[in-house]
Chains A and B, each alone.
Chain A
Amino acid sequence: MPEIRINFENVSVDFATELGPLRVVNDVSFAISENEFICIVGPSGCGKTTLMNIVAGFVQPTQGRVTLDGKPITGPGRDRGVIFQEYGVFPWLTVEQNIMFGLRLHSSQVPASQHREIGQRYLELMGLADFARAFPKTLSGGMRQRLAIARAYAAQPEFLLMDEPFGALDAQTRSKMQNLLLEVLEREGKTVLMITHSVDEAVYLASRVVVVTARPARIKEIIDVPFAYPRSEALHDTPAFGALKARVRDLVMAEYEVQQKLGSATS
């Protein structure tokens, strides 16, 4: 039995709205073990992002708790690297300075003599070496996304939390980024929690897919993805992949219909 790192224990979240409290997450319980890749899929506006924000430390549960190695999460921290939907690369820093941001903070355990070397490693890994001294304004969307990932990695977190990280990218860039992410994970090993609305992406990347319901988000089903890592594009063409994808899609689509009737006042 692998070691449980993050544990959702009967978690519910209410948001205050003008019409009173709105329940966005309802009684969610599941555990994330070391080196798992969890994808949460569900209709947009259902509360997926809230689940990630609790782990990131930006949202506190109204009921229940989320623990990290047994201790409740009370705020953000460098052990959990977050890759935001809107990237959030610092425009006033060069690509290289962005990557080294986390290393240069007081909370960094890495000695200063290694900063440059680590920075260089992620520059190369993410194909940004030629742009080390460029400012983010000169980068394309895909490159900014790679920079955000490189920056999160360079801070050496144990967990990666990703909120629809490839949502804004075109199909080709998106699939390149997925493969790059798998490659990096293969080398560096991290526990990942990713939010996505793409069923294909979830089945391709995850070791387990968590399907959540329309708002308020409850767990509808947790599906084990049996394909071994390392995975490659060819997996897409196998019947087993197609069948699993169809199963997840049916689950998600049913919830999508429900969510449509609710509207998407919040995500």
Chain B
Amino acid sequence: MTTAARLRHLGLVLMPWAVLVSMWHLLAVSGLVNTGLMPTPGEVSRKFWQLLTTDRLVVDILRSTQRVALGVSLGILVAVPIGFLIGWYKNVRTFLDPLINFFRALPPIALIPLVVVYFGIDEPAKVIILFYASFFAGVIVMYEGVAQISPIYIKVSKTLGANDAEIFARVIVPMTMPHILTALRVALGVAWATLVASELVAAQQGLGALIQSAGSFFQIDVIYVGIVCIGAVALSMDMALRALTRRLIRWQDRVEGH
């Protein structure tokens, strides 16, 4: 890309944000909404800085990121082999598919009382909720993707003399890689969306906990800070993952356009 194209690209990326923030600002100062109920972007960023430098915000961000990372890692670790088996073997799919769709439909927040009963209110309870959300999001992406892999590559590699171990390492793994990365991205999104629910379980720290305690003390600016932080951290993780995807699967058609 030339410098001019780069600048144009940057402009296109930043524009919707600029529009969004200006509209928010205009709405907050317009008087349409009670000023006590809607802080301006400026007030929220001042609050953000204050919480970041003098208070708990760093700990909250780290704690939430840690929970999400742990829940997603565990979820994907289990979702990859299971999703692969379901996608690869049609008969496994026949009996596991309804089961997975049943559990996938349950909102994690509805499971919180049961999780508390069985796992208590400590760290494992929160991670289990995130694990649950990531696993079911990931496993579906994984098996839908694997089911679409064409068997032609396996046939070709056999005619070239590959043994079973070589077929797995040199054909199945690279073909599965894009689906693992997509599953990871989807699971990360779902896990961040589930974070506040998971931190309903007696969390002292974390962005979800911050939002909830701010809610009970009517600190609307703090609520905004919490929400923006969740979005920002989730976005940066997604961008990092996309960069990794581009690096790992340069060969894929659709990666090029992004």
Contacts and interface: CB of A to CB of B under 8 A. Distances in A.
Interface stretch (A72-80, A193-201, A212-220, A235-243): A72-80
B251 A101 contact: no
Interface string B151-179: 01101111111110010001100110100
A36 interface: no
B251 A80 contact: no
Interface string B51-74: 000000000000000000000000
Contact of B160 (A75, A105, A135): A105
Interface in A37-95: 56-58, 75-78, 80-82, 84, 86, 88, 90-93
A107 B250 CA distance: 29
B163 A107 contact: yes
A153 B174 CA distance: 23
Contact of A58 (B155, B174, B252): B155
Nearest to A109: B161
Contacts of B161: 77-78, 102, 105, 107-108, 155
A136 B174 CA distance: 15
B155 A76 contact: yes
A207 to B, nearest CB: 23
Nearest to B159: A82
Given A58-B155, A76-B155, A84-B155, A91 B160 contact: no
A76 B252 CA distance: 28
Contacts of A81: 159-160
Interface residues of A, number: 29
A137 interface: yes
Given A93-B251, A135-B251, A137-B251, A88 B155 contact: yes
A261 interface: no
Contact of B171 (A76, A77, A90): A90
A133 B156 CA distance: 21
A107 B163 CA distance: 8
Nearest to B249: A92
B127 to A, nearest CB: 34
A80 B171 contact: no
A91 B159 contact: no
B251 A102 contact: no
B159 A80 contact: yes
Given A90-B171, A91-B251, A84 B156 contact: yes
B163 A77 contact: no
Interface in A95-128: 101-102, 105-108
Contacts of B159: 56-57, 76-78, 80-82, 152
Nearest to B248: A92
| Residue from the set B157, B160, B175, B177 with the largest chain A CB neighbour count within 10 Å | B160
A151 interface: yes
Contacts of B252: 91-92, 137
Nearest to B178: A92
Contacts of B251: 91-93, 135-137
A92 B173 CA distance: 10
A91 B175 CA distance: 9
A105 B157 CA distance: 10
B155 A135 contact: no
16 contacts: A57-B158, A58-B155, A75-B158, A76-B159, A77-B161, A78-B159, A78-B161, A86-B152, A88-B153, A88-B155, A91-B253, A92-B251, A107-B161, A135-B250, A137-B256, A151-B160
Interface of A: 56-58, 75-78, 80-82, 84, 86, 88, 90-93, 101-102, 105-108, 135-137, 151-152, 155
Interface of B: 150, 152-153, 155-163, 166, 170-171, 174-175, 177, 249-253, 256
